[in-house]
Amino acid sequence: MKFYNLKENSEQVSFAQAVKQGLGRNQGLFFPEQLPVFDDIPAMLALPLVERSVKVLKAFVSDDLDEQQLTEIVTNAFNFPAQTQPINEKNAVLELFHGPTLAFKDFGARFMAQCLQAFSGGEKITILTATSGDTGAAVAHAFHGLDNIEVVILYPKGKIALLQEKMFTTLGGNIKTLAIDGSFDDCQALVKQAFDDKELAKAIGLNSANSINISRLLAQICYYFEALAQLSRQKGAENLDNVVFSVPSGNFGNLTAGLLAKAMGLPIKRFVAATNANDTVPRYLAMGEWSPNETVATISNAMDVSNPNNWPRVEHLLKSGLVEQGCVSSASIDEEQTQSTVIQLSKLGYISEPHAAVAFKALEYSLADDEFGVFLGTAHPAKFKDVVESILGQPIGLPKELADCAGETILSSDMSAEFAELREFLLTNTDQ
């Protein structure tokens, strides 16, 4: 299957090219030229995760990977579960945080890393990415130890939580981390300058591994199928026509993947796109005007995005009729409601964190009597230990992944926000 550029439709590339290139011309996003549609959903849902995911992904990658290669990639990438947990009789959470960095980004980042390695053809690739936390950890762990791939991660020195910093700065090997004397925006600006420097980009095989990469989204389709598989075991396959997913949204990659799953025949009734105070999308869906405000900092900080980069894909899915126009509603949840929802969930016996709480609250506002709600648990509560403990007034335990890295040494180098210094580092430290 080919993937085409949503901005310049004549640009069509293979899956391998889309993965390596990331973005198309004129910053356009790649989109599959047609979607496989499954008509025997109960049979699909009866399969184990890896086997089903291979079926889901096969048509997308068939130009570049045979079934055996794909099976190997999926087996390596999805080596941890996605798990639904009941909250009450009307709601369940889909926990996506049982991977190595305790956030759903592990699914996409690990699949992308495995694909990129398969497509590298022995050429050197340098992943350069800026992070304010979660993405850096997921990317670092996904690529750690892979041959021919160097990873360089920039982050704002002193501006991320220590445990979060330790999750991606202590690995060593092919993972290089730079603590930049500046803000997250400065880090992003440096990454952009590197990509604009065509000579440098070519010399070191630059790739960003960011959330607009189509491979990350395709991987995420698979856990929507897994959620319905688990629900069908619990409720019976005939009782799946009323499921509503609430997706805590920042760049809207997760929602895009859910809509793709629906367009492929998975019986999801509709979606709630839940945001924090960064409410560009809920305002857009209500008023029809795209007017991003200045980004504001919230306790659900992975969703502090005011110009979501996957929105053109969502819009395409809705406007092209691949999914029904009305199947996405959206709500913005403020800080006070987020905190009270963390408490509300803990009273229901479930320790959550701010992102999941935003999704649960938005679902509660939206769910009709005859609907069943599933909200996505995108991060382990321990990743937001300080804020969760201060809301709940009680300590929460550290899972093994975090406890393990807490005692490790940070291996980062300090660097100024001067591009010349980064350029020099990239040319000398990513040995060709």
User: Which positions lie near ligand PLP, rule CB under 6 A?
Assistant: 103, 105, 134, 211, 248-254, 302-303, 355, 378-379
Closest CB to ligand PLP among residues 331, 422: 331
- What tokens were used for 362? 């938005």
Q: How far is the CB of 104 from ligand PLP (least distance, A)?
A: 7
Closest CB to ligand PLP among residues 174, 256: 256
Q: How far is the CB of 256 from ligand PLP (least distance, A)?
A: 8
Residue pair 141/379 in contact (Cβ under 8 Å)? The answer is no
Q: How far is the CB of 130 from ligand PLP (least distance, A)?
A: 14
How do beta strands 372-377 and 243-248 pair?
Answer: parallel
Closest CB to ligand PLP among residues 174, 298: 298
Q: How far is the CB of 59 from ligand PLP (least distance, A)?
A: 23
Closest CB to ligand PLP among residues 119, 225: 225
Residue pair 352/360 in contact (Cβ under 8 Å)? The answer is yes
Residues in the chain: 432
Closest CB to ligand PLP among residues 134, 150: 134
Closest CB to ligand PLP among residues 52, 313: 313
Q: How far is the CB of 429 from ligand PLP (least distance, A)?
A: 28
In the 3-class helix/strand/coil scheme, how is the chain assigned residue by residue?
CCEEECCCCCCEECHHHHHHHCCCHHHCCEEECCCCCCCCHHHHHHCCHHHHHHHHHHHHHCCCCCHHHHHHHHHHHCCCCCEEEEEECCEEEEECCCCCCCECHHHHHHHHHHHHHHHCCCCCEEEEEECCCHHHHHHHHHHCCCCCEEEEEEEECCCCCHHHHHHHHCCCCCEEEEEECCCHHHHHHHHHHHHHCHHHHHHHCEECCCCCCHHHHHHHHHHHHHHHHHHHHHHCHHHCCCEEEEEECCCCHHHHHHHHHHHCCCCCCEEEEEECCCCHHHHHHHHCCCCCCCCCCCCCHHHCCCCCCCHHHHHHHHHCCCCCHHHEEEEECCHHHHHHHHHHHHHCCCCCCHHHHHHHHHHHHHCCCCCEEEEEECECHHHHHHHHHHHHCCCCCCCHHHHHHHCCCCCCEEECCCHHHHHHHHHHHCCC
Closest CB to ligand PLP among residues 127, 302: 302
> Taking the chain, what is the end-to-end CA distance rounded to the nearest angstrom?
32
Closest CB to ligand PLP among residues 257, 266: 257
Closest CB to ligand PLP among residues 20, 383: 383
Q: How far is the CB of 362 from ligand PLP (least distance, A)?
A: 13
Closest CB to ligand PLP among residues 299, 415: 299
Closest CB to ligand PLP among residues 119, 252: 252
- Single-letter residue type at 92: A
Q: How far is the CB of 122 from ligand PLP (least distance, A)?
A: 32
Q: How far is the CB of 406 from ligand PLP (least distance, A)?
A: 20
In the 3-class helix/strand/coil scheme, how is 37-74 assigned residue by residue?
CCCCHHHHHHCCHHHHHHHHHHHHHCCCCCHHHHHHHH
